[in-house]
Amino acid sequence: MIEERFDAIVVGAGMAGNAAALTLAQRGLKVLQLERGEYSGSKNVQGAILYADMLEKLIPDFREDAPLERHLIEQRFWMMDDNSHTGLHYRSDEFNEEKPNRYTIIRAQFDKWFSKKVQEAGAVVLCETTVTELLQDAHGKVIGVRTDRKNGQVGADVVVLAEGVNGLLGTRAGLRNRPDPSKVALAVKEMHFLPQETLESRFNLKGDEGAVIEAVGTISEGMTGMGFIYTNKESISLGIGCLVADFERTGQTPYGLLEKFKSHPSVKGLIEGSEVKEYAAHLIPEGGYKAIPQLFGDGWVVVGDAAQLNNAVHREGSNLAMTSGRLAAETIFQIKSRRDPMTKENLALYRKMLEDSFVMKDLKKYRNMPELLHIRAQNFFLTYPQLVSKAMKEFVRVDGVTKSEKEKATLRSFLAARSIKGIIGDAFSFARAWR
Ligand SMILES: Cc1cc2nc3c(=O)[nH]c(=O)nc-3n(C[C@H](O)[C@H](O)[C@H](O)COP(=O)(O)OP(=O)(O)OC[C@H]3O[C@@H](n4cnc5c(N)ncnc54)[C@H](O)[C@@H]3O)c2cc1C
């Protein structure tokens, strides 16, 4: 292993780690990045929507050579029961702009490209290297890492923990707790390959245009969860995720839910005749603001999913990961430029920068949402989607029954499923959590 000492060691080469390592190297710091996978991206799973703004802050001209699939011009939200969906559908030609705002990507390819940029900026990147332990001095200050390589100890002024949601290093060192099963989702995803023309005609797309569908309802069997369908160039990423605590409670399996989602009449036709080439499972932090652990200490900072920085309400994670990685790196650069030590006191600037950014502002706004959705999952993910579907069916069917009768029947079915007090309570709690 390398004998030298580094200004910073970054553990992990996902979105957060690459953003941190790139920024540190661009600022001229001596950086070592360690990744346990065969290459950056080999272990990473995402839907995946990339948010351009956050990448642009790191690599302004990324559109020139990044492996992007499609730019998104259409967003559909579905509320499903077993046979139907009620949808909200937004499509705009204005998203066919010169610099589109959102793209679909395939993480294995994207992360490889991102890692190349990190290396070009001057960081030393070592893959197939698992960090097994944080090295601490007698006062608990992190002073480096131990890896699974021979003589694999390396020292640094500061360690950036970008090890993802299930990272064991921070928990083993007592810097944070293991994620609580009610605050983390397990998502499964498949890649369905189709000829490009077939895919484009099924989703009404041309050129590099893309569409995404996000779905809630009976597909999650009353658990807090969501399904997604994202269009890539020649494939569809399709998946579903629910809270781990809900899987434990109900005995449902992620694979069982995925099969149900795929066989739903609204989904089946979209993937018909496709060839499934990949299957992956991964955790997603869903606890929001209240689940964020201590973010910095003597000689260390934690970024991205490892810090639970994920906005489950808006399905954003990679952008929070990139932003937190960048801000942690900027903090380290500032401290280094002043020739100050990487103490807890000095690294507190990272938290301050995060608080001033959209990351903490958004997470703070939705701080009560994860608990609400978990506690009232049966109502929000099962009862209401079923009631809405029933109401829509009545609304559009013309069968000689008067409109007044239909309205009364709809109201009766709502009240049979939930009391007036219950419905008002749910609406009020939801509005308050959204505020
Ligand atoms: C199914 C699914 C769909 C998603 N869809 C979206 C989406 O559409 N848009 C979006 O913005 N977000 C999405 N997310 C969330 C997004 O993927 C994450 O927020 C993001 O990847 C977090 O980046 P990260 O760098 O913190 O962690 P990761 O990308 O998980 O990277 C962590 C890295 O650390 C490495 N590592 C871990 N431990 C060690 C160790 N001890 N030594 C060395 N290396 C180590 C891992 O191998 C990995 O490469 C999705 C997530 C899932 C699971």
pLDDT per residue over 22-38, tens digit each? 999 999 999 999 999 99
**Residue given tokens 């991205």 in the structure block:** 304
pLDDT in tens, 395-409: 999 999 999 999 999
Q: Is the CB of 44 under 6 A from ligand 1?
A: yes
107 vs 13, 351, 353, 430, 431, CA distance in Å?
11, 28, 27, 33, 35
Report the sign of the C-alpha dihedral through residues 13, 19, 24, 28, in that order. positive
Is the bond preceding residue 48 a cis peptide, omega within 30 degrees? yes
Contacts for 53-61: CB closer than 8 Å, 24+ residues apart: 53/101, 53/319, 54/318, 54/319, 54/322, 54/323, 55/322, 56/99, 57/322, 57/323, 57/326, 58/19, 58/22, 58/23, 58/322, 58/326, 59/22, 59/117
Query: Which residues of 1-141 form beta strands (DSSP E)?
Result: 5-11, 31-34, 49-51, 68-80, 85-91, 102-105, 124-126, 131-136
Gap from CA of 388 to ligand 1 centroid (Å): 35
Gap from CA of 107 to ligand 1 centroid (Å): 9
> What pLDDT is stored for residue 434 in this prediction?
81
Integer Cα distance of 21 and 29 in angstroms:
9
* Ligand 1 pocket mutation, candidates 163, 176, 212, criterion most atoms within 8 A of CB: 163
Please classify residue 207 by burial: count the beta carbons closer than 10 Å to its beta carbon, then call 0-12 exposed, 13-18 middle and 19+ buried. Answer: exposed
Question: What is the C-alpha end-to-end distance of the chain, expressed in Å?
Answer: 51
> What pLDDT is stored for residue 1 in this prediction?
55
Per-residue pLDDT of the chain (435 residues; tens, 9 = 90+): 556 799 999 999 999 999 999 999 999 999 999 999 998 888 777 778 999 999 999 999 999 999 999 999 999 999 999 999 999 999 999 999 999 999 999 999 999 999 999 999 999 999 999 999 999 999 999 999 999 998 899 999 999 999 999 889 999 988 888 889 999 999 999 999 999 999 999 999 999 999 999 999 999 999 999 999 999 999 999 999 999 999 999 999 999 999 999 999 999 999 999 999 889 999 999 999 999 999 999 999 999 999 999 999 999 999 999 999 999 999 999 999 999 999 999 999 999 999 999 999 999 999 988 888 888 888 899 999 999 999 999 999 999 999 999 999 999 988 888 888 888 888 888 888 887
Q: Is the CB of 318 under 6 A from ligand 1?
A: yes
Please classify residue 32 by burial: count the beta carbons closer than 10 Å to its beta carbon, then call 0-12 exposed, 13-18 middle and 19+ buried. Answer: buried
CA atoms within 13 A on the CB side of 390: 18
Gap from CA of 44 to ligand 1 centroid (Å): 5
Over its C-alpha atoms, the chain yields an Rg (Å, rounded) of 23
Strands 209-217 and 49-51: unpaired
> What pLDDT is stored for residue 12 in this prediction?
97
Q: Is the CB of 131 under 6 A from ligand 1?
A: yes
Please classify residue 336 by burial: count the beta carbons closer than 10 Å to its beta carbon, then call 0-12 exposed, 13-18 middle and 19+ buried. Answer: buried
Q: Is the CB of 13 under 6 A from ligand 1?
A: yes
> What pLDDT is stored for residue 336 in this prediction?
97
Q: One-letter amino acid identity for 413?
A: S
Integer Cα distance of 238 and 229 in angstroms:
4
Integer Cα distance of 110 and 200 in angstroms:
22
Q: One-letter amino acid identity for 395?
A: F
Closest CA to ligand 1's atom 2: 46
Gap from CA of 49 to ligand 1 centroid (Å): 13
Integer Cα distance of 27 and 112 in angstroms:
21
Q: Is the CB of 284 under 6 A from ligand 1?
A: yes
Integer Cα distance of 76 and 219 in angstroms:
16
Of 153, 133, 157, nearest to 143 by C-alpha is 157
pTM for the complete prediction? 0.95
